Structure 1
Amino acid sequence: MLIASTWWQAALAAVLIPIMPPDVVERSSRSGADVRALVALGPRVTGTSAAEQAAAYLTAQYREAGYTTEVQTFTYPKFEDLGSSLSAAGERLTGRALSGSLAASPTALLVAVPGVGQPADFEKASVKGAIVVVRRGQIPFLAKARNATAAGAVGLVIVNSEPGELYGTLGGEVAIPVLALSGKRGSPLLVNSEQAPTRAGLVVDTRKRTITGRNVIAHLPGISRPDVLLGAHYDSVPDAPGANDNASGTAVVLELARRLAGTTLADRVWFVAFDGEEDGLQGSRDFVNRAESAWVKGLKGMLNFDMVGINDKLLVGGSSPLVAVAQAADSTVSPFRDNGLSDHRSFTAQGVPALFFYRGQDPNYHKPGDTSVNPKLLEATTEVGLEVVRRLVATSQQDALAQPLVRSKRMLAGGALFSHHQVLLPGQSWNAGCSTPTWSWLQQPCAGA
């Protein structure tokens, strides 16, 4: 809809709508181009040619930026679904076997169990020798499967309570086949739970094979003991091009490398593009396990970037001191309770302080629609990352907060970045959600933040 504007509205718009500086536009376009290049390869599933091509692309980009590179290969057994489904009442419903499921094809009565698969839920129906159907939620997949097994079921179907397909892992081996169905396909099975049970055939066809993953490591020649490691995973799940998850984080780390090249800070940093994250942090775990203990313990921090191309608000989680550094670097970031389900977990498990950059859930998470990101958000994330790195390579953690500077509060308005400046005094930082500065090194979020 077009609305006629007066001269003063046009003048006001000219003042308020910011123009991105040419250098910012160039950097933003560069990161956006990296994302598009990775997405163009198709789903970067570990062990596929697309993932191998992605590793080659990243290697070339780091070398062009002046870094020496190494491709660190590793192997692990991977669970694969070769085609699993449930057939009932003349209809075949395709789904996905959960990793850890038994491969089997039982035919039995199909029984919808009210609830989510708690032990008490199975007592409400006759499930011995049956294929049972439960809703997703409340308890882990493994608990549902073991409860079903204990109740005598010969198969389990878990129906997604959220839109889209259900991907997942049981987190352990079970003695029955377990199939996940989308809510669209599986909900009618639960709605018809009042009807008499019908016979159904469950087919869970899986295999395990050895997968080769590739971590891409970059650093300046001769730099063997960094203070800070910057990382992001570049692999994606099947059927998902992985623009936000996680070409976005991969592009940010690559841009950080370009921006740091030629500065003294580059002497203190390593950059790693991890593979195999979607299969259970395989690449980062292998990287940490191979490194000498003294090397790992010598890291002042690991910065992990995952899903940073969608949603305006930049969230930071992880080790409290590093969260405080991020808030001191940019008061617009918000702390959040990190669940540790990304590559930084491999480092925190070894005692390394870590900071996790994240922008929240994406409606296209693990879906074919994950095809694009907002390059301006990548640039904003890069800016915060640069300031955090600068602070972390300071002589002490106290110095990381005690550096007076004029800093930029970055916002998004009208689709463009602009800044307004404020001065932070030594030892002072802004706590997200607060109206006044806080002075504590281990600061906590405001009540209600």
Structure 2
Amino acid sequence: MKLLLWPALLALTLPGSGLAATVEDHAKAVLAFGPRVAGSAANGQARSYLEEQFRALGYQTRREAFSYPRFDDLGSDVRVGEQVLGGNALQDSAGGEVTAPAVRVPGVGTSADFARVDVRGRVAVVQRGQIPFIDKARAALAAGAVGVIIVNNSAGDLRGTLGQALNLPVLGVSTTVGAALKDNQPVTLRVRVRQGEVQAVNLIAFKAGVDRPEVLFGAHLDSVQGAPGANDNLSGSLAVLEIARQAANTSLSARSFFVLFDGEEDGLLGSRAFVKDNPSVTGGLKAMLNLDMVGVNVMPLSISGEAPLVEAARRAGVEASVGTPGSSDQVPFRQAGVPTLFFHRGLDANYHQPGDTLLDSELVRQAATAAFTITNGVLSAVPAN
């Protein structure tokens, strides 16, 4: 597994260990567990590892469990002869295995497009684009298709959601797989899915006695299926650990929570659970700083949020802009009335892909230092609770 790290490695000295662990060390250790899908063994192993690091820095920790239903793809594909071609079940698709001729549907899969071909008892192959997945699938079902394959219209795998349960197996595939599916060629479509309950856990680190923090530093630890999640979002998680290291022997540590959220990739569920379950904490926050994908230099570090925190950042000499872009874990806090800042470097080429194995430790350090500097500026003029 390749890990991109620049020479300026950040040393995290672990009290009592006699060792200096670096961002590189932590990244290698966590990435070795594999993709950190919420509810998976790898997710739990990564949480335990990082919990040890917070404790080594002198913090106490607690875990807050929550659960939610999730649609899981257990391994879906389409087979052409002896060739097995990978794909992804669209969420809300029915499971099932069917063998039938493939029929390529012209256009983008409207009802009018389906009227131009005979898909009765066959597997419809439809191009992505212009209309929602559910409309394509409904048109296929109405026309008598026994399965649907939706072909991506850009590079990479296709993942998506129908938005409504449909009694039809629906598979998303890449353009490469789509090109291998010929008209009237027999195929076997296998969509293997499970609707289950995810047991997820948020990890919270804090100094002894801190139960009403004034600032919360957060990042999501979970990743998506098949993606090791180096940049998305081990980079943000390690930035939160580094902020905790910088704050450990300062007054900031007595005014802060450090939280690694679970379930972000399934809909910001960890941060939503935290806000719901901790109203006394949320109600006392003067700032929530969220770090998501800060380890690859797609663009200079973007810091954005509500005007008061943006002004505090500028006073501290850190460039920031007013705005609330991005669907990440700051959103539930902002909706609860907490001022937020979002730290982000853009979507890199390996976003949600197996190639998400790269992060730059210096970029992680820069993001952490910016967050630390801004927060000191925010709290310096405010008496401690």
Normalization by structure 1: what TM-score?
A: 0.73
Q: Structure 1 pair 332/33, CA: closer, same or farther in 2 (3 Å)?
A: farther
Give the one of 84, 95, 99 matched to 2:76.
84
CA RMSD of aligned residues (A): 2.9
Q: Structure 1 pair 352/121, CA: closer, same or farther in 2 (3 Å)?
A: farther
Give the one of 42, 56, 59 matched to 2:51.
59
Give the one of 66, 75, 85 matched to 2:67.
75
CA deviations over 1:211-266 (Å, ceiling 9, x no partner): 22221101111111112211111122233221111110000001101111121222
Give unmatched runs, 5+ long, in structure 1: 1-18, 397-449
**Bigger Rg, which one:** 1
Return the alpha-carbon distance in structure 2 between the equivalents of residues 30 and 41 of structure 1. Answer: 18
| Residue aligning to 1:249 | 236
Give unmatched runs, 5+ long, in structure 2: 1-6, 14-20
Return the alpha-carbon distance in structure 1 between the equivalents of residues 308 and 112 of structure 2. Answer: 44
Give the one of 206, 213, 222 matched to 2:200.
213
Normalization by structure 2: what TM-score?
A: 0.84
Does residue 350 (structure 1) correspond to residue 336 (structure 2)? The answer is yes
Q: How much does 1:380 deviate?
A: 0.9
Give the one of 168, 174, 178 matched to 2:170.
178
Q: How much does 1:62 deviate?
A: 1.0
Q: Structure 1 pair 141/334, CA: closer, same or farther in 2 (3 Å)?
A: farther
| Residue aligning to 1:296 | 282
Give the one of 362, 367, 379 matched to 1:381.
367
Return the alpha-carbon distance in structure 2 between the equivalents of residues 139 and 30 of structure 1. Answer: 48
* Aligned partner of residue 100 in structure 1, secondary structure: strand
Q: Structure 1 pair 320/173, CA: closer, same or farther in 2 (3 Å)?
A: farther
| Residue aligning to 1:391 | 377
**What is the 5 A alignment of 1:3-402?**
25-26=10-11, 30-88=22-80, 91-118=83-110, 121-127=113-119, 130-149=122-141, 152-189=144-181, 196-292=183-279, 294-311=280-297, 312-332=299-319, 338-340=325-327, 342-393=328-379, 395=381
* Aligned partner of residue 105 in structure 1, secondary structure: strand
Structure number with the bigger relative contact order (C-alpha 8 A, sep ≥ 6) is 2
Return the alpha-carbon distance in structure 2 between the equivalents of residues 53 and 166 of structure 1. Answer: 29
Q: Structure 1 pair 201/318, CA: closer, same or farther in 2 (3 Å)?
A: farther
Contact 1:234/1:275 (8 A) holds in 2: yes
Figure out how many residues of one structure are paired with residues of the other and give that number.
368
Contact 1:67/1:220 (8 A) holds in 2: yes
| Residue aligning to 2:17 | none
Q: How much does 1:385 deviate?
A: 0.7
Return the alpha-carbon distance in structure 2 between the equivalents of residues 112 and 204 of structure 1. Answer: 19
CA deviations over 1:359-382 (Å, ceiling 9, x no partner): 111222222322231111011111
Contact 1:101/1:177 (8 A) holds in 2: yes
* Aligned partner of residue 170 in structure 1, secondary structure: strand
Q: Structure 1 pair 101/327, CA: closer, same or farther in 2 (3 Å)?
A: farther
